[in-house]
């Protein structure tokens, strides 16, 4: 038997980590192809609102998940169009995606603010009072397990398959990849949309399970923390997962500190995750001294003529 508070902490850690990890893993795939997408925050918001709207209207949770994933992937394709095909600045385009995504999701979700959700994502067991670690794991909903499967399969895909090797070749040296006959544009386009799809899944998890309701700007910086996680994880899936667990733990721990007897100001407590993110990024960058593991071609548009 574990302490009830510890169970709550564990549960909240896993949930917060799942949310961050899925979005970070998607961005990792996009960045591996050499495309930087700063629109994670906006893509999560689009997935979150479209999934929530579908769930309210159809009461079909699986349809809602699929709609959320597809809308974010479609939204990410704007970034792919502008940066991959039209070679425009990736930083600017990604930022627009964030601003546009937040505005568009607020516009779409206007009628859905405060509405109650009648369906929920299923779990393996319907145990509402888990008492040990295994039961906490079992009580997580299927998105948690999807995240685990994604972590293992993406890591395998990148390391052991032709697709993964080609993706990385494109991100490391697109000119060399092109002269080897790889389809650089196509690979980058697909990788960007996959990143969007992952952010969409993260978004539906936010509105259908983590919170679950819809309100404007509810992503509250999680997309940016996911971006920081990719750096933290050195562009490796397992390390990114570890980072997500750490950040999830902090997100879960900080609001609980007061119940543990620490006398903290709740308003100050709210900003600590952002301070800690900066702090960790700084420590990590200094420690690694430039050897971050970033794909070499990240942010640089690919031109056939430069060959």
Partner 1 sequence: MGNFFLSKKQNVSELSTFYSFLIGFVIALMIGTIILIIQEKNPLETFSLMFRLSLGSVNSFTSSLNKAVPLILAGLGISIINSVKFWNIGAEGQIFFGAIAVNYIYINTQVTNSTMLIFVLLISGFVGGAICILIPAITKVFFGVNEIITTLLTNYIAIGITIYLINGPWKDPGSLNFPAAEYIGEEVYLPTIFGKLSFGFIVCITFTVIAFYLKNKSIFGYELRIAGGSELTAIYAGINAKQKAFIAMLIGGGFAGLAGGIELLGQTHRLSTGISQGFGYTAIIVAAITGMRPIGIFLVGCLFGALSIGGSVIQTVGVSTYIADIIQASTLMGALISQFFFNYEIKRKENA
Within positions 35 to 54, which residues make up the interface with partner 1, using CB under 8 A? 38
Q: Contacting partner 1 (CB under 8 A), which of 128, 261, 267, 291?
A: 267
Give the residue with the Cβ less far from partner 1, 270 or 296. 270
Least Å distance, CB 262 to partner 1, is 17
Please give the Cα distance from 240 to 142 (Å, whole number): 20
**282 touches partner 1 by CB under 8 A:** yes
Contact code string over 95-134 relative to partner 1, x by CB under 8 A: xx--xx-xxx-xx--x------------------------
**88 touches partner 1 by CB under 8 A:** yes
Binding part of the chain for partner 1, among 7-15, 67-75, 161-169, 268-276 by CB under 8 A, reads 268-276
Within positions 194 to 223, which residues make up the interface with partner 1, using CB under 8 A? 220-221
**228 touches partner 1 by CB under 8 A:** yes
Give the residue with the Cβ less far from partner 1, 124 or 271. 271
The residues near 18 (Cβ < 8 Å, ≥ 6 apart) are 140, 143, 144, 147, 205, 244, 248
CA–CA distances in Å: residue 211 to residues 19, 86, 205, 267: 11, 38, 9, 20
**264 touches partner 1 by CB under 8 A:** no
What residues make contact with partner 1 under the rule CB under 8 A?
38, 78, 81-82, 86-89, 91-93, 95-96, 99-100, 102-104, 106-107, 110, 185, 220-221, 224, 227-228, 231, 265, 267-268, 270-271, 274-275, 277-278, 281-282, 285-286, 290, 303-305
């Amino acid at each position: 038997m574990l302490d009830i508070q510890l169970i709550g902490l564990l549960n909240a850690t896993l949930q917060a980590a799942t949310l961050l990890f899925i979005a970070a893993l998607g961005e990792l795939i996009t960045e591996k192809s050499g495309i930087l997408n700063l629109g994670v925050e906006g893509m999560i918001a689009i997935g979150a609102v479209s999934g929530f709207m579908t769930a309210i209207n159809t009461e079909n949770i699986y349809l809602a998940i699929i709609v959320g994933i597809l809308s974010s992937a479609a939204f990410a394709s704007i970034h792919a169009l502008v940066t991959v095909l039209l070679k425009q600045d990736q930083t600017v385009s990604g930022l627009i995606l964030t601003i546009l995504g937040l505005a568009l999701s607020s516009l779409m979700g206007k009628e859905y603010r405060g509405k109650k959700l009648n369906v929920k994502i299923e779990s393996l067991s319907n145990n509402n009072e888990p008492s040990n670690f295994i039961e906490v794991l079992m009580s997580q909903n299927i998105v948690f397990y999807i995240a685990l499967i994604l972590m293992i399969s993406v890591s395998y895909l990148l390391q052991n398959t032709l697709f993964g090797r080609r993706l990385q070749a494109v991100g490391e040296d697109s000119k060399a990849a092109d002269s080897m006959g790889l389809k650089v544009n196509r690979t980058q386009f697909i990788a960007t949309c996959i990143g969007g799809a992952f952010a969409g899944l993260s978004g539906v998890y936010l509105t259908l399970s983590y919170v679950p309701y819809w309100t404007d700007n509810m992503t509250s910086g999680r997309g940016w923390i996911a971006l920081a996680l990719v750096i933290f994880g050195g562009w490796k899936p397992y390390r990114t997962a570890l980072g997500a667990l750490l950040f999830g733990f902090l997100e879960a721990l900080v609001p609980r500190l007061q119940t543990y007897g620490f006398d903290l100001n709740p308003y100050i407590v709210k900003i600590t995750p952002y301070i800690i993110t900066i702090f960790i990024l700084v420590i990590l960058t200094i420690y690694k001294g430039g050897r971050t593991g970033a794909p070499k071609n990240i942010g640089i548009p690919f031109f056939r003529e430069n060959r």
